[in-house]
Amino acid sequence: MLELKNIKKSYKTNKLVQRTLKGINLKFYKNEFVAILGPSGSGKTTLLNIIGGLDRYDEGNLIINQKNTKEFKENDWDAYRNNCVGFIFQNYNLLNHISILANVEIGMTLSGLNAKQRRKKAIEALTKVGLQKHLHKKPNQLSGGQMQRVAIARAISNNPDIILADEPTGALDSKTSVQIMNLIKKISKNKLVIMVTHNSTLANDYANRIISMKDGKIINDTNDLKEETDNQKVIKLKKTSMKFFTALHLSFNNLKTKKGRTILTSFASSIGIIGIALILSLSNGFNKQISLYEKTTLSTLPIVISSNIQSNIIPTISDETSLEYPNFDYVIPSANENNDLQNNSINNNQVNYLKKINKNYISEISYTYQMNLNFLQKINGKVNISTLNYPETINSDFINKRYDVLAGKIPTSRDEVVLEVDSKNQVSKDYLEILGFKTSNNINFNDILNRKINLVLNQNYYQKISNYFVTNQNLDSLYENQNNIILNVVGIIRLKKDYPNVSNSKIYFSQKLFDYLLDLNKNSNIVKEQEKVDYNVISGEKYDLTTIEGQRLKENVLSFLGANLIPLTIQIYPQNFESKEFIIDYLDKYNNGKTKENMILYTDEARMMSTLSNNIIDSISIVLIAFSSISLIVSCIMISIIMYISVLERTKEIGILRSLGASKKDITRVFNAETFIIGITSGVIGIFLARLFIFPTNFILYSITKLENIAILNPFHSLLLILISVILTIISGFIPAKIASKKNLVEALRTE
């Protein structure tokens, strides 16, 4: 059943070549007990290793049941060791971190037997060797003879054709040796048993064939058997494969023997997970706070519809107390600046469409006009003039909802106005100048209330000279003109704390005033003249009215002169978050199918602010996660080192598993299973500790921000971080696992 033809084997050490086997020719038959005798260095163990597939021959051929092994691949040798050969080693080669029952079962797991079959056959094998009462003991709880019995049970459990015993009694006393030899003799009745020994007495007492070796050659063979005439069936090798659960079981039991190191390793590698989990908790919590803030407070911010106008008339902030609209002279649009003019503007169709919106969704629609308003003040007997370019309207219901009245009352008539102050009760110097204050020092609310504002009409402010208009320089006469509109400051208001304080100080006018001014301005001389001509009646610059740009430049001048009430900006204030979505849908419905020039261009300030805030938080989170990831990298390096140490510690185990038929992939799987367990443990510890740290984190943040439960760890993030921990640890252990799989089988078995 087993034939060796001219087997040769040499070992090379640097330039030294040692020939261990020098042309071995042997035949072995079923049901014989063969003892191979010889002094140390004779090559008997090398011969046994080659027969068992633990080592490879250099020349010759090994034939098993008519199966030529010359073309065997690595997987074939693994299957051969598992299916056809059972090993009994001198030093037992048992896995100390699992029970003797599991030790016997492990070879069968590689054969693909199910758990019930494995358990049954393992118990039968242990019963045959008299260890049925010790099934769940660990090897280190047994005597030497008992451990050798376990090795024998493991060797016969998978019902191999060949049993190979390497000095099976070398580590036993004489009484135990006899018991073991009787057991092996019994096995040889239906199997081929090949035993290597240096004890000639044992060989003569038990073996029915003795082969003597010296210097790598056969010097004597007592073979007195005739060649088998029965045709032997060609062996069929069933490929071995270790299931991942088996690898997990082995690794878990190994890690249990090193609990302290495993826990410390898992904790160290969990530090990065803890950091990232806390960052994600804060990011998630802050984003939820922003979403809540958007639904409650930010939802009341306006949806702004705005025309794009020339950049040289956009107001700028002049100093820290200046607010939205600085005081500067009215700028006449110039034809040579039309490169800055955009094609988008609010038109009558859009205004009419907005007027039809469902009022139940709207808290207020506020308009800002391009019309410039000219005001006169007499300070210390001298008349001064101030210009407000972008006046805004407000209604009394809106003031009631959003503002606190700090002094005075809410306006009710056309000529009553209110002054808004910011959150610190500050007012822009520009508005104070309009109100006639020369300095901003020592001004209180009572000084402002009932302050009169002298509004000069275009009809009186502009005078025609030839074909052009210039401003009236007789300010005293203008101040005394009976046609001026006298406005009265009746109230001082401030935005309520519940609303985002995104606006600053302003003077608000009534819509009735602008409707009245529109009629007056339309009939003014300057407007009538401007409507008729194709040039700027103030600057004299020509407009090409055959072009859209020229037409818009002219319309822009008319708007500044108050000839129309097409708003510059429209601010729509929704009732609540749901109303805001309805308004946006309403605007989008108008824009469907229209070109950009004809669309209602709007800005959702609430969404813009929340998106900006979310982006800032996400950016900060990414940066912090990147820093926390450094600890993950350090953890990966540490795990690689620890796994390499584990490979060194488990070299003997690697050899045992390989001798039982485990493939290189199976060995890799065992160490991947170990890193998998460490990764799971690390991730779970990290998430557990992160959840614990959330409590003090929220306490500290509450004391600072008064916001409750900011840090919230998303369950999805928890699972994701555990998965990342597993992936990183497996990657970290990949190289050590590969190193383990490439360990020389014979050298691994010799490791102590």
Provide the pLDDT confidence category of residue 231 given band limits of 50, 70 and 90. Answer: low
Residues of the chain with CATH 3.40.50.300: 2-240
Interval 718-733 mean pLDDT:
89
Interval 17-71: pLDDT, tens: 889 999 999 999 888 999 999 988 899 999 999 999 999 999 999 998 878 888 8
More confident residue, 341 or 236: 236
- Indicate the helix (H) or strand (E) that contains 80: helix 74-83
Interval 432-472: pLDDT, tens: 888 888 765 678 888 899 999 999 998 899 999 888 999 88
Interval 563-575 mean pLDDT:
83
Residue-averaged pLDDT of the chain: 83
Interval 640-694: pLDDT, tens: 888 888 888 888 888 888 888 888 888 888 888 888 999 999 999 999 999 999 9
- Token pair recorded at residue 691: 């959840």
Provide the pLDDT confidence category of residue 486 given band limits of 50, 70 and 90. Answer: very high
HEC-encoded secondary structure of 664-730: HHHHHHHHHHHHHHHHHHHHHHHHHHHHHHHHHHHHHHHHHHCCCCCCCCCHHHHHHHHHHHHHHHH
Helix (H, G, I), strand (E, B) or coil at 15: coil
| Fold entry, domain 2-240 | Rossmann fold (3.40.50)
- Per-residue model confidence (pLDDT) at position 488: 95
CA 591, distance to chain mean position in Å, is: 37
| C-alpha span between 188 and 186 (Å, rounded) | 5
- Whether residue 333 has pLDDT greater than 60: no
Residue type, position 120, single letter: K
- Per-residue model confidence (pLDDT) at position 296: 61
Enter the pTM of the model.
0.61
| C-alpha span between 751 and 296 (Å, rounded) | 71
Helix (H, G, I), strand (E, B) or coil at 640: helix
Percent of the chain at pLDDT > 70 equals 89
Cα dihedral 164, 166, 167, 172 in deg (nearest 10): -80
Alpha helix segments (H runs only) across 328-387: 348-355
| C-alpha span between 139 and 469 (Å, rounded) | 112
Is residue 108 within 8 A of residue 122, CB to CB? The reply is yes
- Token pair recorded at residue 483: 């046609």
Cα dihedral 345, 351, 356, 357 in deg (nearest 10): 50
| C-alpha span between 466 and 292 (Å, rounded) | 63
